Amino acid sequence: MRKRNACTICAVRQKALCRGLPEDQQGRLNRTAYHRHYDAGRFISGADQRQDWFATVLSGVIKLTKSLPDGRQQIVGLLFPADFLGRPFRGRSPFTAEAATAVELCCLDRCHFEDLLQKTPGLSQLFLERTLDEVDAAREWMFLLGRKTAEEKVASLILLVARRLRRAGADGGAERPAVHWDFPLSRTEMAEYLGLRIETVSRQIRALRSAGAIEVAEGRAIIVRDLAALERMAQKECE
Amino acid sequence: MRKRNACTICAVRQKALCRGLPEDQQGRLNRTAYHRHYDAGRFISGADQRQDWFATVLSGVIKLTKSLPDGRQQIVGLLFPADFLGRPFRGRSPFTAEAATAVELCCLDRCHFEDLLQKTPGLSQLFLERTLDEVDAAREWMFLLGRKTAEEKVASLILLVARRLRRAGADGGAERPAVHWDFPLSRTEMAEYLGLRIETVSRQIRALRSAGAIEVAEGRAIIVRDLAALERMAQKECE
DNA sequence: CGTGTCCTTGAGTGGCTTCAATCAGTGTGG
DNA sequence: CCACACTGATTGAAGCCACTCAAGGACACG
């Protein structure tokens, strides 16, 4: 479950929060950091439950969910490689984190990180900028949930995942989204993120397929056949 | 449109971001700060448009919206007194800010504030905590948009506004939400925040009224008759 | 080969929307 | 003072999109 690793060979070091630290601090952080692995579907951290560590996602996708006693559940955020997991300055997060795919985390001690956050303006600022981006992303998604049709929702989600996976990819380069990859979410999870039912998601995927925008292949693979068409169907809106 | 004012007599100074500043800095800030007033319905700042100032809301309610060329519009956030308006470290915000009611702002120069933010750990941390709270609030709202029924949505909104107005009130005290006040949003705006149509909002308000949970009076006044019932109808979920 | 999980497909329903008419409140001009 | 226009809210009737219920297919596992 745990092993140490060097920041210098970290796959996400160019993009993760850690780059806000000066080198000497990075070294100190490294000495206390450790890795964790979760299989797909595993519970990571809980709503209203004390968490004494934070983490950077090294690989995989994490879903943040909120659910009601009556069974209704909504995914309220996805974390991709280089994203940060945790809620500083408050013991517990109001949401549950679960591994959507197999996940590798680089974990940091809560106190140590909060301390660093207060003492390192560069880190603090980087964290703030990221958090502001998260607010924007959440609000964009609010638009999707409130105003888009089922077809637009599904198209938007595929585009969002394509872009995020592309960005998370090792190649620092192109802004153009990936066109062929394994979709990290099940139909159920797609529905939970889009505010739809699983059957509706299935039907809309079929519609996108018939329209020639995408193709679904072996396993959970999705191939973007016609990016322009997909963007048109998403109302040029996503992320 | 503009006038100066002293922080010491500021109505929101206990709750606004400024309290993250040491006194001397507060004085300096005060010398460059100025007030602005907007009538209800006025445009304040725009999507994708450079904004060279930030502001603290002194009174009134601001709505943040996103809209598509085809006319669909969604309110993605509300700002109440003591809240902060603006998007540091990025020229333009992706959302439009409009006055929902008459609004009074205390404005700060963008460069000056960003500078302060980098130099003042206390301010930066306070800002970060607030931003984290905003992410949480946005995600809670995502749940509402994706999973709640029309009736639950309307009940949740009334509760949210009751709590926020209460908190914004001069009395620092009680956590119990206000029970009688002028609702700051029109039916259209309620619909735009809830992902509903105006007619549906109207019908659900009637339902809440028939159920004895609320009462609507002169103008836009709303009276909470049965708080427990209202919370039950909102699924004990809001904000 | 049976069982379980995930996804797909079909048929019918229902909740919210759409379209439309009415009402209340306010301001304007004759 | 009243007729008229205009805006925001309410109410009714009809329609549609996504949901619900149900069955069946694909695939993995023991």
Residue B156, CB, strand C, below 7 Å? no
- Nearest Cα of chain A lies from the Cα of B173 at a distance, in angstroms, of 22
Mean confidence (pLDDT) of chain B:
90
- For chain A, the structural domain boundaries read 7-138, 149-233
3 state DSSP class of A84: strand
**Distance in Å, residue B186 CA to nucleotide D5 C1':** 22
Percent above pLDDT 90 for chain B = 69
Q: Which of A57, A31, A33 is nearest to A44 (CA)?
A: A57
**Distance in Å, residue B119 CA to nucleotide C13 C1':** 61
Q: What is the dihedral angle through the alpha carbons of A47, B178, B62, B114, rounded to the nearest 10 degrees?
A: -60
Q: What is the pLDDT of residue B135?
A: 97
- Nearest Cα of chain A lies from the Cα of B146 at a distance, in angstroms, of 4
Q: Which of A124, A60, A69 is nearest to A97 (CA)?
A: A60
CA of residue B167 relative to chain centroid, distance: 11
CA B138 to each of CA A112, B131, B182: distance values in angstroms, whole numbers, following the listed order: 28, 10, 24
**Where are the alpha helices (H) located in B33-149, listed in sequence order?**
110-119, 121-147
Residue A206, CB, strand C, below 7 Å? yes
| Residues A37-47 pLDDT 10s | 999 999 999 88
| Residues A57-92 pLDDT 10s | 999 999 999 999 999 999 999 999 999 999 998 877
Task: Sort strands A180-182 and A62-67 into parallel, antiparallel or unpaired.
Answer: unpaired
Give the nearest chain B residue to A71 (CA atoms). Answer: B147
More confidently predicted of A202 and A6: A202
3 state DSSP class of B215: strand
Q: Residue B56: pLDDT above 90? A: yes
The answer to whether the CB of B105 falls within 8 A of the CB of B55 is: yes
Which top CATH class is A149-233? mainly alpha
Which fold is adopted by the domain B7-138?
Jelly Rolls (2.60.120)
The token duo for B215 is 């009462």
| Residues B143-175 pLDDT 10s | 999 999 999 999 999 999 999 998 877 454 556
- E strand map for chain A: 34-38, 43-45, 53-59, 62-67, 73-79, 84-85, 96-99, 103-109, 180-182, 214-216, 221-224
Give the residue ranges with Cβ < 7 A from strand D.
Answer: A 149-151, 195-197, 199-200; B 186-188, 198-199, 201-203, 205-206, 216, 220
Contacts of A86 in chain B (CB under 8 A): none
**Distance in Å, residue B219 CA to nucleotide D2 C1':** 25
Least confident of A139-148, B160-169, B207-216: B160-169
Q: Residue B30: pLDDT above 60? A: yes
| Residues A205-237 pLDDT 10s | 999 999 999 999 888 999 999 999 999 999 866
The token duo for A62 is 């994490």
